[in-house]
Amino acid sequence: MLTFNCTKNVNGVIEKWDGCINKFINYGSHYEIKIESRSSIMVLFGKSSSIAFCSIPDFGAGCHLVDLKDKFWNTEKLVDVLGKVDGITVAQALYSLSDKIKF
């Protein structure tokens, strides 16, 4: 289990919440994580020959990723497809894995 913290700043109002990755599976070609936070979110992510990707099947959403450490880019793309809170949560979860997996 891996815990992480999330922060959202809207017009100077800062909101914070915690998240937890309680499931992690390495399939060799891609990864699966289960995030528990304000929502319960299953995320599939990996790389193809030319792009990195993130899929959130339960939300009918997905997007391109860059390096897991690039919170700015990943947050922008994930917020576009998931909304502010869930996008920030998934981006922070991926960032928290960046030093723990080879991506």
Q: What are the angstrom distances between the C-alpha of 48 and each of 54, 59, 98, 103?
A: 11, 22, 18, 11
| Confidence at 102, pLDDT banded by 50, 70, 90 | confident
- pTM greater than the 0.85 cutoff: yes
Look at residue 92 in the predicted model and tell me its pLDDT. Answer: 97
Which contiguous run of DSSP H or E holds residue 66?
none
| Exposed/middle/buried for residue 44 (C-beta within 10 Å: 0-12, 13-18, 19+) | middle
Please write the tens of the pLDDT for every residue from 38-56.
999 999 999 988 889 999 9
